[in-house]
Structure 1
Amino acid sequence: MGIVIMQSVVSVDGFIADEKDGVGPLHDWYFNGDTPIIDGGEKGFDHSGAGSGFKVSRASAAYVRPIWEGVGTIVMGRTLFDLVNGWEGRPPAGDHVVVVSHRPKPDGWHPEASYHFVDDVTAAIEKAQELAGERIVSVNGGVVGGQIFAAGLVDEVAMDVVPVVFGSGKRFFGGIDAQHLLEDPHVVVQGDRVLHLGFKVRR
């Protein structure tokens, strides 16, 4: 099975969005360079789901591109699914999406898309790994990501840290309330207005 990576763009004080799900300047670095993350620009990590051919610094592209190319399945919560309308059935990376939700997939919503709705985080990771095979399972930060992390199902934590302080909002690790040790960072990449960090989870 492939590794499970919990990853999101995050403020210096640990928030992935404000209280109203606004991301402020967190995603600005996706547009401030001259190197496309994905060749052809057909996909991009944005809330419209339309894909915008994001261009980042060369340092960020060298780090992000192989991760996106390695993703097989994205795991997300229902809040993000609703915010981006599931990227209209075209995830920014990988071929499959698992949505953790007590509500089923909306009737008639993109029946051609490989989107799977489950109501349990353990079942979500099992399904995601089944779909991904040897490829990466990418878990979005937030409440669901925090639950998956707390359940001991995450192998690595990847944070794209943007130099902004939110003060309050939606936390990278959701409502996690216990201490967990990570290994020393094995990834430290300085981009333009972003610092990419990677940590293996200490077992």
Structure 2
Amino acid sequence: MHNVVSVDGFIADSNDGVGPLHDWYWNGDTPVTPGVDPQFDHSGAGSLFKVSRASAPYVKATWDRLGTIVMGRHLFDLVNGWEGRPPAGEHVVVVSHRPKPDGWHPEASYHFVDDVRAAIDRARELAGERDVAVNAGDVGGQILAAGLVDEVAMDVVPVVFGSGKRYFGRIEGQHLLEDPHVVIQGEGVLHLRFKVRR
């Protein structure tokens, strides 16, 4: 389970705005996705993402291991499924009761599944030996509550939102994590990883 998050635990404000949460992806000097199509290049220097030298090895290793992303329909609709090109990995599984939009990027490996357990099964099948990443939020919280998350990864940005969309969604009950086994201080971001306690 992964997302960028404010210090007070929000992945977006109440109107789905992310404010400065993702600024660190473009404010560094080290490209992590060379050779990106210029149409999607926000840096102007041939790379969609340029992060700090401290963050680059962590981000690159994480993205290199990723095979499939699991996301909810709300995020899919907000970003239009990244136009069929996920930021990392080759496959996306969307948890939704509605099917893939007619004619939407037929070439993209996007799969629509209406149950979180079935979504994780499909994502694992597609990922093979690679990792499955679950986007945080309501769907991520449901997957964590179902006991299907092994690790929680947070990129904590020094901003306080006060309210908005929570990292763990509307999850209920207590869920214990181990002490962080990854702590990396980047520029404008703190990367943390916690194993889920079983």
TM-score range, shorter chain: over 0.9
CA distance, structure 2, for counterparts of residue 176 and residue 154 of structure 1: 13
Structure 2: runs of 5+ lacking an equivalent: 43-47
- Aligned match for 2:75, one of 64, 75, 80: 80
State the shift of 1:136 in Å.
Answer: 0.6
- Aligned match for 2:25, one of 16, 30, 47: 30
Match of 1:40 in 2: 35
- Quote the RMSD (CA, aligned, Å): 1.3
- Aligned match for 1:187, one of 182, 186, 194: 182
Which portions of structure 1, spanning 4 or more consecutive aligned residues, are displaced by more than 2 angstroms?
39-43, 49-52
Aligned length: 193
Q: How high is the sequence identity, in percent, across the aligned residues?
A: 78
Match of 1:46 in 2: none
Paired residue secondary structure (2:108):
coil
Paired residue secondary structure (1:109):
coil
CA distance, structure 2, for counterparts of residue 30 and residue 40 of structure 1: 16
Contact 1:100 1:117 in 2 (8 A): yes
CA distance, structure 2, for counterparts of residue 30 and residue 173 of structure 1: 22
In structure 2, give the amino acid aligned to 1:139. Answer: V
Match of 1:157 in 2: 152
Match of 1:3 in 2: none
Residue 44 of structure 2 is aligned to residue 50 of structure 1: no
State the shift of 1:39 in Å.
Answer: 2.6
Match of 2:129 in 1: 134
Structure 1: runs of 5+ lacking an equivalent: 1-5, 44-48
In structure 2, give the amino acid aligned to 1:14. Answer: G
In structure 2, give the amino acid aligned to 1:143. Answer: D
CA distance, structure 2, for counterparts of residue 78 and residue 34 of structure 1: 33
TM-score (norm 1): 0.92
TM-score (norm 2): 0.95
State the shift of 1:56 in Å.
Answer: 0.7
Paired residue secondary structure (1:58):
coil
State the shift of 1:41 in Å.
Answer: 3.6
- Aligned match for 2:193, one of 184, 193, 198: 198
CA distance, structure 1, for counterparts of residue 35 and residue 174 of structure 2: 42
Match of 2:5 in 1: 10
CA distance, structure 1, for counterparts of residue 162 and residue 32 of structure 2: 30
